[in-house]
Amino acid sequence: MAFLSLSRLTAPHTRSQAPSLRDLLALHRQRRQLARLDAAALRDIGLDPHSAGAESRRPLWDVPRHWHQN
C-alpha cells in the first residue's frame, strides 16, 4: 500500500520564491501515489475516485493554489 506524505502539502516557499525542484518532484510523487490508491483507501482519506483521478492527472507545473502567494 502506498502512503501519502502530508508534510509537504503546505506552502514550501516564501512569498518571493517559486517552488523548488525538490518541492515539485515531491508533488509529482504524491500525485502518482494518489493514482495508485484503491477505492477503500480513497474513502479513508475522504476522496472519490473521480476527484483523485483528476488530481493525479494534473501537470507538474499546476501546483496547489495555496502555494501561490499574492
pLDDT of 20-46, one tens digit each? 899 999 999 999 999 999 999 999 999
Which of these, 28, 29, 36, 70, lies nearest to 53 by C-alpha position?
Answer: 36
Predicted confidence at residue 5, as pLDDT, reads 53
Phi (first) and psi of residue 7, to 5 degrees: -70, -25
Record the pTM: 0.68
Confidence class for position 1, pLDDT limits 50, 70, 90: very low
CA-based end-to-end distance of the chain? 37
